[in-house]
């Protein structure tokens, strides 16, 4: 039976290999003859085309003297050789000769032959004939498919047929293992020898295909001897040596032929061998060791021949095999195997990229492949997170991530194509560290995690700096600013996630801060320091939120807030002074004047951002005694004001005022008690005094500045509501209007001090006076709404607006004018769009003489007076012409007052709300109509008097509305006598309006009569 099977196998080999080879050789012989004939025919066609395109050579003509004749136009450029003639020479003409010269022949011609002069011909114009370019041979698809593609597919099919037959024989045990192996080695060797024996000049493709199939067969048989049959001879060392020999043979053959198809088909066969001959048992050492040898052979061939595409193809095959092994055999216990394979493949292709660089074979194929393998490792690291037992091995897992990260960093160091790959590596490692921290961090694993976090931060902070030193062309130190803040983001997760915040986190945060400071010194950039400052304060805020709400504020937390604030303030201020001019310039002169330059911004934020933490602490925890939290706020204020003094930052004190005022309001709204008002009142007035006195303490420093003086003026406005609440709650009285009068004293004294002591030529003196004058008027006008109520607030705003416009005449600061107009506008809106106005007071017994009269009248007067104060050339406010606007608002408010008084007159005394009704009472309806008509008449007269169209147009519109209301609404409900009276009244008003319109309208505004 075995003999029969061996004969059957020999028959199949002869039928499937020998006979096709003989047929192919015959066909290739005929194809070679046809190709030779086609080539010779092509050469003949090219020579014929060149002969046709070549211009004819001119005939040889003996030199003849040129006759003095002008060329005549000719139809064709034909060259006719003339007969031998003797032509008279051209006589020399004198300069003054004007007649035709006489031609004297120097040679007597034969008597029977007259002189013959050839007909003039047009010189031949050369015609450009482009050189004949040989036609590019078109792709012979028939030859490609018949010769190359079919050969490749045939070799692949041959290999697959042998592989499947061998697999079938393995599964059914038809052939003894020793015979199978021997036949396999013989087949592989025979294919290689047959390919080498062929004439490689004529049958190059066939020879390469046979050799490639033979190499693949030897790979398959060797793998089967070790992994399938486990022959004693084919132990790990002999199998390794044999595969090295086969790989070396493939390398030598591919290089010597040279034949890419040998390398490609060998690679395909090599990767398909484990799949086709798989026994279903897991042998990762044999599988991945085999793949490593295969990859090494492909890399060697690529480095030798320059076939760079073999490198990514080999890497892709390895990755696919790894994925297949993972899907079939992987479990948590085999995670070290996958990690070793990923790291080993990464090291192999990094070495390939380095060898290519040293041999001056730089290529994106090597670089991208070397970068792709670590990214595959990152994908496996992400996959490992779904296995708690794998992610729980902290040194193994995080070490695997950082080794992949380091591999990409080494590639960025040595590779010219991917100098920024370290940024991608850092972001990928950061994402994996963050996911691991969010899902697997525990108290026991925290020390390991902090160690890896610090290693990650140091590696990616130092590497860009070192890279720029060793390879200045790479550049990119700006990326080093990114990873210290990212590491602090990682540290925020344990603070929020763990049950209790361990103390060891704070030294780690401090080390990251120190790293950022060192980076700032090295790069002359404060971006990283600013970022870690914000994140450090956020970390402190997270600790604050971990404290249960309602508990007393821990002193340790307050100490941490103050300690980090002072640390960053001192460090950043030292950096600004140390770096000096190395820091970049600001955005511009105007921006630097307001916010300070780069040297000043970071120290400012260092002292200001802790206010946010203090506000959160005050809002969340119990702080009945404000001394501790206000004391720290006073320290921050002192640091900020000192910084403004040292660096001369104009508006930095305003930030301190905003921070401390927000903290005071937050504490007061939650913790203030009327039983103990003295201590809060002391702190409020103390902060106010600090800001009020501050610019006068450094008067010479801030003499040419506006910000500190403006903050001193605004400090009273910011603290007045707090003081008012304390007094109103603890000691209510009927004389609260005295409080704004007392608050008006400090800005008034400051105003006087600047007027007496300030230099008259100081360009900022006007701004300083404007701020203190505005604050003084604000408190003065605030007396009315506090001493009284409701409408007095609106009246106070209107009076404040007029007062500011009056002050603008004395201190022409644009801010005073704009603020005054805005206040007048707010007063108008409050009286027109505020529905609560109609329910302020109960309807009294006396009509007309009510609060509406004085409230609306005062605001109307303020609007008219404001328009008068803004007469040209002061009329432009915020880009608009203010007087017409204010006059219009005053007229609208006067018309509204007219209607309110009519409604109030017809409202029953004691009513809580004023209502408007336009039906049900003929007296009220006619009053509205006649009042509207009279108002229109007055508006018309004012428009005629002032010579303005807008009031006249408004008067015409209002009078039209009154007439429409009279005819279509009022007359239908009136009796005859009242109807006549109403008509008469409205008629008189209309006639008077018409007369006034015609009589007093300026002549230049009348429409001229038409002219013919």
Q: Which helix (H) or strand (E) holds 632?
A: helix 627-647
Strands (E), 349-412: none
Bridge partners, 881 (sequence order):
876
Overall pTM surpassing 0.95 (yes/no) = no
Q: What is the pLDDT of residues 902-912, one digit of tens each?
A: 888 887 776 76
Q: Which helix (H) or strand (E) holds 297?
A: helix 284-305
Q: What is the pLDDT of residues 69-121, one digit of tens each?
A: 444 444 333 444 444 444 444 444 444 434 444 444 444 444 444 454 554 44
Which one is predicted more confidently, 551 or 833? 833
Q: Maximum distance among all alpha carbons in the chain?
A: 155
Ranked by mean pLDDT, the top range of 131-135, 819-823, 980-984 is 819-823
Nearest residue to 510 via CA among 467, 573, 560, 549 = 560
Q: What is the pLDDT of residue 1005?
A: 47
Q: How far is residue 104's CA from residue 890's CA, in Å, rounded to a whole number? A: 117
Contact indicator for 166, 220 with CB cutoff of 8 Å: yes
Place 173 in a pLDDT band, splitting at 50, 70 and 90. low
Please state whether the peptide bond connecting residue 258 to the residue before it is cis, i.e. omega within 30 degrees of 0: yes
Which one is predicted more confidently, 712 or 512? 712
Give Cβ neighbours of residue 888 (< 8 Å, ≥ 6 apart): 950
Phi first, then psi: give them for residue 622, nearest 5 degrees: -85, 120
Q: What is the DSSP letter of 65?
A: P
Lowest mean per-residue pLDDT among 222-231, 381-390, 767-776: 222-231
Taking CA atoms, 581 is separated from 189, 517, 587, 597, 699, in Å, by 75, 17, 15, 11, 28
Q: What is the pLDDT of residue 770?
A: 84
Q: Which two tokens stand for residue 466?
A: 């070192």
Place 251 in a pLDDT band, splitting at 50, 70 and 90. low
Q: Cβ-count burial of 328 within 10 angstroms (0-12 exposed, 13-18 middle, 19+ buried)?
A: exposed
Go through the chain and tell me how many residues it has.
1012
**Per 3-state DSSP, what percentage of the chain is helix, strand, and coil (rounded to 5)?**
75, 0, 25
Q: How far is residue 181's CA from residue 782's CA, in Å, rounded to a whole number? A: 107
Contact indicator for 725, 668 with CB cutoff of 8 Å: yes
Contact indicator for 386, 344 with CB cutoff of 8 Å: no
Provide the pairing of β-strand 880-881 with 876-877: antiparallel
Q: How far is residue 354's CA from residue 358's CA, in Å, rounded to a whole number? A: 6
Place 376 in a pLDDT band, splitting at 50, 70 and 90. very high
Lowest mean per-residue pLDDT among 35-39, 359-363, 381-385: 35-39
Please state whether the peptide bond connecting residue 61 to the residue before it is cis, i.e. omega within 30 degrees of 0: no
Say yes or no to pLDDT of 694 above 90: yes
Q: What is the pLDDT of residues 612-642, one digit of tens each?
A: 888 888 888 888 888 988 998 998 898 888 8
User: What average pLDDT does this structure show over 237-249?
Assistant: 71
Say yes or no to pLDDT of 14 above 60: no
Say yes or no to pLDDT of 575 above 80: no
Task: State the first-to-last Cα distance of the chain, in angstroms, to the nearest integer.
Answer: 133
Nearest residue to 706 via CA among 758, 640, 635 = 758
Helix axes 310-329, 260-276, angle to 10 degrees: 0
Q: What is the pLDDT of residue 833?
A: 85
Q: What is the pLDDT of residue 383?
A: 93
Domain ranges of the chain: 317-440, 455-546, 820-916, 918-1005
Contact indicator for 198, 206 with CB cutoff of 8 Å: yes
Contact indicator for 831, 853 with CB cutoff of 8 Å: no
SS (HEC) of 437-472: HHHHCCCCCHHHHHHHHHHHHHHHHHHHHHHHHHCC
Q: How far is residue 221's CA from residue 536's CA, in Å, rounded to a whole number? A: 63
Q: What is the pLDDT of residues 911-924, one digit of tens each?
A: 767 777 766 676 77
Q: How far is residue 858's CA from residue 855's CA, in Å, rounded to a whole number? A: 5
Q: How far is residue 721's CA from residue 369's CA, in Å, rounded to a whole number? A: 68
Contact indicator for 399, 436 with CB cutoff of 8 Å: no
Q: What is the pLDDT of residues 414-465, one digit of tens each?
A: 777 777 787 888 899 999 999 998 888 888 888 898 899 888 888 888 888 8
């Amino acid at each position: 039976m075995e003999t029969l099977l061996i004969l059957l196998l020999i028959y199949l080999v002869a039928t499937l290999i020998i006979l096709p080879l003989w047929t192919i050789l015959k066909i290739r012989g005929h194809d070679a003859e046809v190709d030779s004939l086609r080539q010779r025919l092509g050469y003949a066609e090219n020579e014929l085309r060149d002969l046709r395109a070549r211009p004819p050579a001119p005939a040889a003509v003996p030199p003849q003297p040129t006759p003095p004749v002008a060329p005549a136009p000719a139809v064709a450029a034909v060259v006719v050789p003339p007969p031998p003639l003797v032509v008279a020479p051209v006589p020399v003409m004198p300069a003054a000769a004007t007649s035709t010269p006489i031609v004297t022949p120097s040679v007597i011609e034969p008597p029977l032959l007259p002189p013959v002069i050839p007909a003039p011909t047009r010189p031949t114009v050369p015609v450009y004939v482009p050189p004949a370019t040989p036609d590019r041979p078109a792709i012979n698809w028939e030859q490609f498919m018949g010769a190359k593609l079919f050969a490749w597919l045939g070799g692949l099919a041959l290999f697959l047929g042998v592989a499947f037959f061998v697999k079938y024989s393995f599964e059914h045990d038809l052939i003894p293992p020793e015979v199978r192996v021997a036949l396999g080695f013989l087949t592989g060797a025979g294919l290689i020898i047959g390919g080498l024996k062929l004439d490689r000049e004529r049958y190059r493709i066939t020879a390469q295909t046979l050799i490639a199939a033979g190499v693949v067969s030897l790979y398959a048989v060797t793998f089967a001897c070790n992994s399938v049959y486990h022959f004693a001879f084919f132990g790990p060392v002999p199998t390794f040596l044999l595969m090295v020999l086969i790989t070396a043979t493939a390398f030598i053959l591919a290089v010597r032929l040279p034949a890419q198809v040998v390398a490609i088909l060998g690679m395909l066969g090599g990767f398909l061998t484990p799949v086709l001959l798989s026994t279903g048992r897991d042998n990762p050492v044999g599988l991945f060791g085999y793949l490593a040898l295969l990859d090494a052979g492909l890399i060697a061939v690529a480095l030798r021949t320059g076939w760079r595409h073999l490198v990514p193809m080999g890497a892709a095959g390895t990755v696919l095999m790894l994925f297949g092994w993972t899907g079939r055999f992987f479990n948590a216990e085999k995670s070290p195997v996958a990690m070793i394979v990923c790291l080993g493949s990464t090291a192999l292709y990094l070495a390939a990229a380095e060898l290519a660089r040293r041999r001056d074979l730089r290529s994106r194929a090597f670089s991208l492949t070397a970068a792709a393998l670590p990214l595959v490792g990152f994908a496996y690291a992400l996959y490992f997170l779904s296995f708690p037992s794998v992610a729980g091995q902290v040194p193994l897992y995080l070490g695997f991530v950082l080794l992949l990260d380091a591999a990409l960093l080494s590639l960025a160091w040595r590779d010219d194509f991917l100098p920024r790959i370290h940024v991608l590596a850092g972001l990928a490692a950061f994402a994996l560290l963050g996911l691991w921290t969010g899902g697997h961090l525990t108290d026991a694993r925290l020390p390991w995690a902090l160690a890896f976090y610090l290693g990650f931060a140091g590696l990616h902070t130092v590497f860009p700096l070192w890279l720029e030193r060793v390879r200045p062309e790479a550049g990119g130190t700006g990326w080093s600013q990114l990873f210290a803040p990212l590491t602090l983001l990682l540290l925020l997760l344990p603070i929020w996630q763990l049950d209790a915040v361990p103390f060891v986190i704070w030294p780690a945060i401090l080390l990251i801060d120190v790293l950022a400071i060192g980076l700032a010194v090295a790069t002359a950039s404060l971006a990283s320091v600013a970022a870690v400052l914000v994140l450090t304060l956020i970390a402190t805020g997270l600790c604050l939120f971990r404290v249960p709400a309602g508990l007393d504020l821990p002193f340790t937390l307050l100490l941490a807030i103050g300690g980090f604030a002072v640390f960053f303030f001192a460090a950043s201020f030292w950096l600004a002074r140390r770096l000096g001019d190395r820091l970049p310039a600001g955005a511009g002169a105007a921006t630097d004047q307001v916010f300070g330059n780069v040297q000043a911004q970071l120290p400012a934020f260092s002292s200001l951002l802790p206010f946010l933490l203090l506000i959160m602490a005050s809002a969340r925890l119990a702080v009945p005694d404000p001394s501790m939290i206000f004391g720290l706020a006073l320290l921050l204020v002192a640091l900020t004001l000192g910084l403004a003094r040292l660096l001369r930052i104009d508006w930095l004190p305003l930030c301190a005022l905003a921070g401390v005022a927000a903290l005071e309001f937050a504490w007061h709204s939650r913790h203030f008690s009327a039983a103990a008002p003295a201590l809060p009142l002391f702190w409020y007035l103390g902060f106010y005094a600090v800001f009020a006195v501050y610019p006068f303490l450094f008067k010479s420093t801030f003499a040419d500045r506006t910000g500190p003086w403006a903050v001193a003026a605004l400090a009273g406005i910011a603290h007045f509501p707090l003081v008012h609440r304390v007094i109103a709650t603890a000691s209510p009285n009927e004389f609260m209007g005295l409080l704004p009068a007392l608050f008006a004293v400090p800005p008034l004294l400051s105003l006087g001090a600047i007027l007496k002591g300030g230099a008259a030529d100081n360009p900022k003196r006007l701004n300083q006076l404007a701020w203190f004058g505005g604050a003084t008027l604000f408190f003065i006008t605030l007396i009315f709404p506090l001493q009284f109520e409701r409408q007095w607030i609106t009246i106070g705003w209107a009076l404040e607006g007029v007062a500011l416009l009056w002050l603008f005449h004395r201190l022409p600061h644009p801010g005073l004018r704009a603020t005054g107009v805005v206040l007048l506008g707010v007063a108008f809106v409050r009286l027109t769009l505020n529905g609560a106005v109609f329910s302020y007071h109960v309807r009294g017994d006396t009509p007309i003489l009510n609060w509406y009269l004085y409230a609306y009248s005062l605001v109307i007067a303020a609007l008219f007076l404001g328009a008068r104060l803004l007469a040209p050339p002061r009329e432009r406010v915020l880009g608009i012409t203010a007087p017409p606007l204010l006059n219009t608002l005053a007229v609208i408010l006067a018309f509204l007052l007219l209607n309110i008084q009519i409604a109030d007159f017809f409202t029953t005394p004691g009513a809580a709300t004023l209502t408007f009704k336009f039906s049900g009472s003929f007296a009220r309806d006619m009053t509205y109509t006649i009042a509207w008509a009279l108002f229109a008449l007055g508006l018309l007269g004012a428009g005629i008097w002032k010579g303005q169209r807008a009031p006249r147009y408004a008067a015409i519109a209002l009078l039209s509305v009154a007439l429409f209301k009279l005819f279509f609404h009022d007359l239908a409900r009136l009796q005859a006598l009242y109807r006549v009276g109403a008509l008469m009244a409205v008629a008189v008003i209309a006639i008077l309006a018409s007369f006034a319109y015609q009589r007093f309208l300026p002549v230049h505004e009348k429409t001229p009569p038409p002219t013919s």
